[in-house]
């Protein structure tokens, strides 16, 4: 059992609201907010520095902006580096500021996790005197997007692309930063899948993959769908062939590990027909959640239902109408069992779910509460695995590690539980404390909000622990041995150098406690 002193944990809803507020405020401050000119005099400090590229070359003509941190009522200061990469701002009021660097022609400033640390280069400016802030630009590539009709190739000049590192969209605009029918995004090197949509009132969404190469411009065409794009499927009872009305199904991108509110949800009509309109051209798995008439849930497989998402059918809707084979629904069954401490045998309270999940999306994951025992009903007669998630999501205050059925550390190693139509299968679970992991996660506060620390299974991408409470600069987690994991602040700011998750270090979890410290900010 864990002997640490419990730390208070925030409400998830408040956390999400704070996150969205922080991102919105960052966009307004850094791009559109009032900017104080470079000035001198008064009881204030001078902030200066030299900005270089990784090669050591000076980074000239880069706009450097100091924006107040944590909502402080200070002006925003801005200047531009000279040919030697030097910059200087005088008359800066005391306080904490975020420093951002914006290259010429790029609408969104880059928030560099370099010498200043994650996430947005916050420094403390003294009341008087000088502060020197030298920084190095990490590598980045620019992707230039145009859009075209997916069927005809005709140019579409009014469109938006979602930034994969932020929540918002960047759009073309005749009166804005991108008035000429194209837009630029600057991102760390790597391969990305971008979604976007047309704003011309005619076309719909689109998706394109592109690779960002450091120091280069990659050209990408977003194929937006013409009107009439539709994915159509009919739900039927397997035994009788009768259509099944009023039943919900969800199209979930293959790349997503758990559902959220942005997934496409539809309900079958009186003829059992489901129509998904305006789906992005992506790869999808289809989840059929069972019906009020006693049908069980399933991942739609190539030859019927399955409880294993890895075996689910992959659907790629194209332009026009894509019709899938009928989805055949089977009678539901249940899984029940006890949940006890692996050492003491005492009853344990956990959440039992079909997958692990981000606490932000707690409400969208199919789950049941387990208080010493559990019953999971409404499942199709297939083999299933269950996730057992302790209070605290395996983070601060958790005394158990997240585990899968049979005490497994991941979904691929889980014991499969065979559900019988109309019956109940018994599957008991014994919860283990796992291995304690802790570390420092400095450089986090932004507008009073701190990023949670996420721990992902390196082989499956499943979330295995979340510490939502890291304002004090420390995080804690409990992990089941026998797996490799990645530590991240946000899904794409990962250990050791705030890299994307796919590039992060995969660390094997053993039985001995260990420490992983994120690089702290300076200043």
Domain parsing of the chain, residue ranges: 34-137, 141-224, 230-329, 333-515
DSSP H helices, 417-498, are none
Question: Are 438 and 397 spatial neighbours (Cβ–Cβ below 8 Å)?
Answer: no
The pLDDT score that the predictor gives to residue 55 is 81
Cβ neighbours of residue 296 closer than 8 Å, sequence gap 6 or more: 290, 305, 329, 330, 331, 332, 333, 378, 379, 380, 381, 419, 421
The pLDDT score that the predictor gives to residue 28 is 29
Nearest to 470 by CA among 493, 494, 490, 444: 444
Handedness of CA 255, 256, 261, 264 (dihedral sign): positive
pTM of the model: 0.72
Nearest to 424 by CA among 351, 520, 343, 337: 337
For 34-73, the pLDDT digits (tens) are 334 444 344 689 999 999 887 889 999 988 888 887 655 7
CATH: 2.60.40.1120, 3.40.50.2300, 3.30.9.10, 3.40.50.970. Which one for 141-224?
A: 2.60.40.1120
Cα(252)–Cα(223) distance, integer angstroms? 20
Tell me the two tokens of residue 463: 């979330």
Phi/psi for 458 (5° steps) reads -70, -20
Query: If you ran DSSP here, which 8-state letter would residue 150 be given?
Result: T
Question: Are 340 and 372 spatial neighbours (Cβ–Cβ below 8 Å)?
Answer: yes
Nearest to 353 by CA among 382, 380, 385: 385
Does domain 333-515 fall under CATH 2.60.40.1120? My reply is yes
Handedness of CA 56, 60, 63, 67 (dihedral sign): positive
Cα(519)–Cα(56) distance, integer angstroms? 22
- The bridge status of strand 435-440 relative to strand 474-479 is antiparallel
Quick one: how far is CA 401 from the chain centroid? 22
Phi/psi for 163 (5° steps) reads -75, 120
| Domains 141-224 and 333-515 are alike in CATH topology | yes
Q: What CATH code would you report for 34-137?
A: 2.60.40.1120
The pLDDT score that the predictor gives to residue 234 is 97
C-alpha distances (whole Å) from 467 to each of 41, 358, 393, 395, 474 are 45, 11, 7, 4, 9
Query: If you ran DSSP here, which 8-state letter would residue 12 be given?
Result: H
- Classify residue 298 as left (phi > 0), alpha (psi -120 to 50) or beta: beta
Cβ neighbours of residue 241 closer than 8 Å, sequence gap 6 or more: none
Phi/psi for 36 (5° steps) reads -75, 140
Count of CB atoms within 10 A of residue 73's CB? 7
DSSP per residue, 192-219: EEEEEEE-SSS--EEEEEEEE-TT-EEE
CATH: 3.40.50.970, 3.40.50.2300, 3.40.710.10, 2.60.40.10. Which one for 230-329?
A: 2.60.40.10
The pLDDT score that the predictor gives to residue 110 is 57
Count of CB atoms within 10 A of residue 452's CB? 26
Cβ neighbours of residue 258 closer than 8 Å, sequence gap 6 or more: 355, 356, 357, 358, 361, 364, 365, 463
Cβ neighbours of residue 45 closer than 8 Å, sequence gap 6 or more: 92, 94, 125, 126, 127, 128, 129, 130, 131
Count of CB atoms within 10 A of residue 9's CB? 17
Cα(91)–Cα(485) distance, integer angstroms? 46
- The bridge status of strand 429-431 relative to strand 333-341 is parallel
Which H/E stretch holds residue 24?
Answer: helix 12-27
Cα(15)–Cα(491) distance, integer angstroms? 16
Burial of 107-137, coded b for 16+ CB within 10 Å and e otherwise, reads bbbbbbbbebbbbbbbbebeeeeebebebbb
The pLDDT score that the predictor gives to residue 4 is 34
Count of CB atoms within 10 A of residue 228's CB? 12
The pLDDT score that the predictor gives to residue 237 is 96
Question: Are 474 and 163 spatial neighbours (Cβ–Cβ below 8 Å)?
Answer: no
The pLDDT score that the predictor gives to residue 20 is 35
Low-confidence ranges of the chain (pLDDT < 50): 1-42, 111-120, 443-449, 521-523
């Amino acid at each position: 059992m864990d002997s640490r002193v419990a730390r208070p944990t925030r409400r998830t809803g408040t956390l999400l609201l704070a996150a969205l507020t922080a991102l919105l405020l960052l966009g307004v401050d850094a791009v559109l907010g009032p900017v104080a000119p470079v000035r001198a005099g008064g009881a204030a400090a001078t902030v200066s520095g030299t900005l270089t590229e990784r090669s050591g070359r000076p980074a000239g003509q880069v706009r450097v902006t100091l924006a107040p941190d944590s909502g402080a009522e200070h002006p925003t200061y801005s200047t531009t580096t000279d040919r030697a990469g030097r910059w200087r701002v005088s008359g800066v009021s005391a306080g904490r500021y975020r420093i951002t660097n914006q290259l010429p022609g790029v609408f969104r400033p880059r928030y560099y996790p370099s010498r200043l640390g994650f996430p947005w280069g916050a420094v403390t400016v003294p009341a008087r005197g000088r502060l020197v802030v030298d920084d190095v630009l990490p590598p980045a590539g620019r992707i230039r997007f145009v859009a075209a009709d997916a069927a005809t190739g005709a140019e579409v000049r009014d469109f938006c692309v979602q930034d994969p590192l932020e929540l918002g969209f960047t759009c073309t605009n005749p009166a804005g930063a991108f008035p000429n029918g194209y837009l630029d995004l600057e991102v760390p090197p790597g391969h990305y899948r971008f979604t976007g949509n047309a704003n011309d009132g005619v076309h719909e969404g689109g998706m394109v993959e592109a690779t960002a190469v450091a120091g280069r411009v990659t050209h990408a065409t977003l194929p937006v769908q013409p009107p009439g794009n539709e994915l159509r499927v009919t739900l039927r009872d397997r035994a009788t062939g009768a259509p099944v009305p009023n039943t919900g199904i969800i199209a979930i991108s293959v790349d997503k590990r758990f559902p959220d509110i942005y997934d496409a949800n539809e309900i079958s009509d009186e003829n059992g027909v489901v129509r998904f309109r305006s789906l992005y051209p992506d790869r999808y798995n289809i989840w059929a959640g069972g019906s009020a008439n006693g049908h069980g849930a399933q991942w739609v497989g190539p030859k019927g239902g399955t409880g294993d998402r890895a075996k689910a059918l992959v659907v790629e809707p194209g332009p026009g109408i894509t019709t899938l084979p009928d989805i055949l629904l089977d009678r539901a069954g249940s899984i029940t069992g006890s949940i006890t401490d692996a050492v003491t045998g005492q009853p344990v309270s956990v959440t039992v779910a079909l997958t692990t999940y981000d606490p932000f999306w707690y409400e969208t994951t199919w789950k049941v509460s387990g208080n010493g025992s559990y019953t999971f009903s409404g499942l199709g007669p297939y083999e299933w695995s269950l996730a057992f998630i302790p209070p605290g999501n395996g983070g601060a205050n958790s005394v158990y590690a997240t585990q899968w059925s049979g005490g497994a550390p991941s979904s691929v190693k889980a014991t499969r539980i065979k559900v019988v139509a109309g019956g109940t299968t018994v599957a008991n679970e014994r919860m283990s404390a796992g291995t304690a992991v802790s570390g420092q996660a400095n450089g986090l506060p932004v507008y009073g909000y701190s990023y949670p620390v996420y721990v992902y299974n390196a082989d499956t991408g499943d979330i295995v622990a979340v510490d939502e409470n890291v304002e004090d600069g420390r995080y804690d987690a409990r992990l089941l041995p026998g797996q490799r994991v990645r530590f991240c602040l946000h899904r794409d700011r990962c250990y050791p150098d705030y890299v994307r998750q796919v590039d992060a270090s995969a660390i094997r979890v053993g039985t001995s406690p260990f420490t992983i410290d994120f690089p702290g900010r300076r200043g």
